[in-house]
Structure 1
């Protein structure tokens, strides 16, 4: 490992919000503006924020490739398609597709993604 390169954060944070009928997020650090969640992921987010007041105006989404205290969602990699990757939500019978923006955060698709939604 190059010691001049800091290690990647174990926990990553974005702040999704509703725009044009779906969940989106901005992350200027990696060049994303109103990046939409599509194909099953919006429904997963709807469930995760059910008890967060004013979630459509924004909430904090913490995610990691390792379990962390209080995580609510565990996603397991299924397959690649159209440059993105399909994940299965553990404990529920549903899948969601994460677009190639995933590679702004991970060099390769993680086998597992753990996440937690909380108020800002």
Structure 2
């Protein structure tokens, strides 16, 4: 059973948003292909976000979420998501460390650590 809320702590490493999650064997896992721009928009009001911030996400809507990512298509073992049908970003197969299958929606919120 998936956790209702999942928390990771992204940070910038050599100009790229990455995160570590030792519970699922991920170290400096990068966000790529449109997702860094989504993160930049999400953290505009978080001081020192490049040094690290808390990212809460879930396939279920939760109080205070800031954005809803909607599934668009599968490609190269990863999945493309969009925010409001505008920006698109690709989430790599590391997504399956958290979900059995690609959720139709992913709700997210960024906070200071």
TM-score by length of 2: 0.97
- Structure number with bigger Rg: 1
Task: Give the deviation of 1:94 after TM superposition.
Answer: 1.0
Q: Between Structure 1 and Structure 2, how many residues are aligned?
A: 113
Q: Does 1:8 align with 2:2?
A: yes
* Structure 1 runs not aligned, ≥5 long: 1-6
SS of 1:86's equivalent in the other structure is strand
2:29, 2:2 → 1: CA distance?
Answer: 22
1:83, 1:54 → 2: CA distance?
Answer: 33
1:29, 1:76 → 2: CA distance?
Answer: 26
2:35, 2:67 → 1: CA distance?
Answer: 12
- Note the 1:75-94 alignment, pairs <5 A: 75-90=69-84, 93-94=86-87
RMSD over equivalenced CA pairs, Å:
0.8
In structure 2, the partner of 1:58 is 52
In structure 1, the partner of 2:61 is 67
* Structure 2 runs not aligned, ≥5 long: none
In structure 1, the partner of 2:28 is 34
Task: Give the deviation of 1:21 after TM superposition.
Answer: 1.1
2:74, 2:19 → 1: CA distance?
Answer: 22
1:108, 1:45 → 2: CA distance?
Answer: 22
Q: Is the 8 A contact 2:2 2:99 kept in 1?
A: no
2:33, 2:79 → 1: CA distance?
Answer: 11
TM-score by length of 1: 0.92
Task: Give the deviation of 1:9 after TM superposition.
Answer: 1.4
